[in-house]
Amino acid sequence: MKLHQQSIRLKEKKRGFHLITHEVVEAIPFLQNIRAGICHVFIKHTSASLAINENADPTVRKDMETYFNKAVPENDGYLHHDEGPDDMPAHIKAMLLGSSLSIPVIDGRLALGIWQGVYLCEHRDQGGRRELVITLWGE
């Protein structure tokens, strides 16, 4: 059993759903040595999240952002608002979507479906550079 762990800091991104599959794979060149295993990706923030979804049509990412902004609106009477009107909605969205992903590894590649990609879901207008911890284990 082999184990590898890598922290990476993503470039700052505007609010929205962003494909980061390439950045994740690029950060773990050890991936090519794993025949069968798991890649776990964790985001160290409470106002951004991770998801797996459509990787081809960018309108899906725009529709996801539109949906979540309607489902969890700003200025909706939240008590926590010291960091601005987008902060508490960002925490709620992050909790709904989650802070980690577990992706199977088969023959040195992430076993994502043909139309799947890893998303950084940035819920703040000014979220900053987000840090991920990527843990890869397998044989």
Burial bucket for residue 24 (CB in 10 Å: 0-12, 13-18, 19+): buried
Q: What domain range is 44 assigned to?
A: 2-138
User: How far is 14 from 26, CA to CA, in rounded Å?
Assistant: 22
- Each residue of 67-78: pLDDT tens digit? 999 999 999 999
- Each residue of 109-131: pLDDT tens digit? 999 999 999 999 999 999 999 99
Tokens of 126: 């000014």
The CATH number covering residue 90 comes to 2.60.120.460
pTM of the full predicted structure? 0.96
Please state the domain count of the chain. Answer: 1
